[in-house]
Amino acid sequence: MKTFLKKHFKKFLIACFVIGIFIFSINFYIVKSTEAYVFSDIKKLPKVDAIIVLGAKVSREKLSYVLEDRLLAGVNIIYANKAQALLLSGDHGQKEYDEVNSMRKYILRRNFNIKKEQIFMDHAGFDTYDSMFRAKEIFGIKSAIIVTQDFHINRSVYIARSLGIEAYGFAVDESIYKESLRFNWRIRELLTRVKAFKDVLISSKPTFLGEKIPISGNGMKSWDTIEKAK
């Protein structure tokens, strides 16, 4: 019995080691292949077709601090004249949960001097892969600056570039958040990078596609009908 357990315990350890090397290798590759395209200084960013702000948790219409920081960074990049269009991409899969309209209303409420026509909305950005796929296929974006926190930025840029977007990342400062929260983000990111690698490898399709809305046009065409009428 002891021999049996010892034998299988060794196999278990070997399997864990192999899986660990696999996860580490993918993470290393994604970070190293994108680090040249990630910036924390707005002045160093190139001009692009659009700024893509990725969604995060909201409570009714109240933005989480994470999402608010992303939006403010996106607005500042627009102010720096790096792009004229702002694509807000997030989860609006349910009527009672709406990241994209919450983002849009936040911008308009704050009077950021951004025209309504500049604000595009992707209601089906259910995850980062869907957001990047739809940015290219629905909105026709060829070049973009992606805005999200540092832990998330390499994966975002990796997916976008793998799909054919000339993508750059702006890493929002996350040092203000609790260390325990940042640790949890990074542990989770180890696995989500593996999923991103798999999605790119097998050319996954997003949950939804739909009618094309060129980023060079009027952003209000991407708004909900009821919001257009206001």
Give the chain's residues under pLDDT 70: 1-7, 225-230
At 229 the pLDDT is: 45
Scanning the structure block, which residue is given the tokens 């702002």? 86
At 96 the pLDDT is: 82
Provide the domain count of the chain. Answer: 1
Q: Which residues make beta-bridge pairs with 52? A: 87, 146
Containing domain of residue 63, as a range? 2-228
Q: How far apart are CA 106 and CA 60, in angstroms?
A: 12
At 150 the pLDDT is: 95
Q: What is the pLDDT of residues 33-69, one digit of tens each?
A: 999 999 999 999 999 999 999 999 999 889 999 999 9
At 2 the pLDDT is: 59
Q: What contacts 217, CB < 8 A, 6 or more positions away?
A: none
Contact 174, 182 (CB under 8 A): yes
At 55 the pLDDT is: 94
191: domain CATH number is 3.40.50.620
- Please tell me the pTM assigned to this model: 0.92
At 173 the pLDDT is: 93
